[in-house]
Chains A and B, each alone.
Chain A
Amino acid sequence: MKVRIGIGIIAFFAVIAIVGPWLNDLLGVGPWKIDYDAISQAPSGEHLLGTTSQGTDVLAQMIAGTRNSMVVGSVAAIIGVVLAVVLGVTAGFFGGKVDAVLSFVTNMFLVLPVLPLTLIVAGYVQDTGPVTIALIIGLFGWAPGARTLRAQTLSLRRRDFVMAMRMVGETRARLIFVEVLPHLAGWISAMFLHLVLGAVLAEAGLAFLGISSADTVSWGTIIDQARQVAMLNGMWWWFVPPGLCIALLGTATGLVNFGIDEVMNPRLRTADIKAMRKALA
């Protein structure tokens, strides 16, 4: 049930991200369209989520922003997952010196504070479009995932079936792709969701610090702009929605991860215990 709600919310944002521009056309609004008659207006029939101090429609900005936030989130997550899989699985599978070196690098990235590091790189890069930002975030976000995958691969490698395949003389590549990776699917998908959320949060943080490009709109840039004006004028409809969307996305990934955790670690399963209480009551 939890998992279904989570997937539902994520799917909702994904759909908005994909059909966003058409949806805005359909509603007859645009993120940059200025309505001079409705500046800093509270939500009304005409502007469902109100307008900004420039007279743009908040809902339209939210819809457009969903796309950019999701793009940053998924691109960064893909990069992060690929790096985590390559580094983590390699370290766990080959062990020895390879593992020593890769683990050292992983542990290093694990303790480096990601936000300041991302910031200085982003600060030097001239182009701060969504994809560049995603690239930078993904580049620094893989370490926790790699650590988990390394540990999981290590324990998989010691299991009988992988041992047996090795003895039979399967090639390493086949072992990794056919035997090891499928067993890590649960972890990898949990990691992906985690990274999406992390990247959306990081993008928002960067936008909040003013690192974003002026012609894109994302949940983060909306908060950033709202902060400067909306706060003092009490325009809650401007800064509440973007944060709420981030929180909603985060809750959804949390719910899905609950489910994945319970599958991967049966001890965490609470459904059975509930059933037992009910049966005995």
Chain B
Amino acid sequence: MILDVKGLNVDYISAAGAVRAVNDVSFQLRRGEILGVAGESGCGKSTLIMGLIRLLRPPAAITGGEVWLHPREGRPVDIARRTDKELRKLRWRSIAVVLQSAMDALNPVARLSAQFADVLREHGYRNVEERTAELLEMVGISPDRARSYPHEMSGGMRQRAMIALALACDPEIVVMDEPTTAVDVVMQRQILAQILELRQKLGFSVVFVTHDLSLLVELADRIAIMYGGRIVELGEAAEIYRSPKHPYTKGLRDSFPPLHAPVTRLSGIPGTPPDLRNLPHGCAFEPRCPSRFDECAQRRPELLDVGDGLAACHLHDRERTAHA
């Protein structure tokens, strides 16, 4: 285990009050594992990973919980409680990040080489130029492109350069926030294949956030489904896809075409994502749920073990009582 998240809360605080975007989220990330996090926009998945690496922008802030990092060397660290200064040494060495759009995430006025050089120097690398060339080659970019500015590269190349940059200091965890939404489908396949290959070679763990569940099935070892700021289902990727335990997961699965199968009928989830300022009293998914019953509106289901993974749904209470 490399990362142990316990009861993490993230709030958006304004003069009018606080809105909880990430609510009591707990999970563990294993060494070398790819954990997918999926959900509709606004479900808190991006806020969650920004909280994990303490990169929340005001007015978002961690208001509770623990994020224990177990690094290769040294003692475990609770990221949620370290000062910014203490975190600096861990950043990029232990946890690196790949953002959604490399166009926005790369400094537009600096050459690629400079953006590799500053982080390499910061973390004590000496042979900066060779290392940069090595990293670029790893993602299939010719090393002489290091002299380019971001705007001089194609979208796919920029995104791959971002990944190379994330691997610069040989991190233990790479957090990826929808890294393939800004590129076309062909490029998306290439990048996913590359991530898998690099993970094989270098052994880092990945937290991969996307709204596209079918993509995660190809990539992730385990998948967490988020809804209304909470994890509503967590389990093995194949299992989640084959037999989702939560009606929301099922809806999510059926609204995307599988990457590797003939396109069947797609059905979206009716209704709209919940308003975080005004969540239902019971299950957050209840208003949109096709299998809801009385209980759902009254009591919020806990995330419990349902055999092949965890799910937060009253349907499984029934089964449990039926079995008992």
Residues of A within 8 A of B (CB): 271-276, 279-280
Contact = CB atoms under 8 A, between A and B. Distances in A.
Nearest to A270: B58
B59 interface: yes
A214 B148 CA distance: 65
Given A272-B14, A275-B14, 13 more contacts: A271-B15, A272-B15, A272-B59, A273-B58, A274-B15, A275-B13, A276-B14, A276-B58, A276-B59, A279-B13, A279-B61, A280-B61, A280-B63
B18 interface: yes
Contacts, number: 25
Interface string B12-25: 01110010000000
A239 B161 CA distance: 63
8 contacts: A272-B13, A273-B58, A275-B15, A275-B59, A276-B14, A279-B13, A280-B13, A280-B63
Pick from B18, B58, B63 the residue with the most CB of A within 10 Å: B58
A247 B58 CA distance: 34
Overall SS of chain A's interface: helix
B150 to A, nearest CB: 22
Interface of B: 13-15, 18, 58-59, 61, 63
B58 A272 contact: yes
Nearest to A279: B13
Contacts of A275: 13-15, 59
A280 B9 CA distance: 13
A267 B18 CA distance: 18
Nearest to A271: B15
A271 B61 CA distance: 15
Nearest to B62: A280
Give 8 nearest A-B pairs by CB, closest first: A276-B13, A272-B59, A276-B59, A275-B15, A273-B58, A272-B14, A279-B13, A271-B15
A34 B61 CA distance: 66
Nearest to A267: B57
A224 B176 CA distance: 65
Contacts of A276: 13-14, 58-59, 61
Contacts of A272: 13-15, 58-59
A279 B18 contact: yes
A54 B18 CA distance: 63
Contacts of A279: 13, 18, 61
A17 to B, nearest CB: 35
A279 B60 CA distance: 11
A273 B12 CA distance: 10
A280 B15 CA distance: 13
B177 to A, nearest CB: 20
Nearest to B63: A280
Contacts of B63: 280
A273 B59 contact: yes
A279 B58 CA distance: 12
A280 B13 CA distance: 9
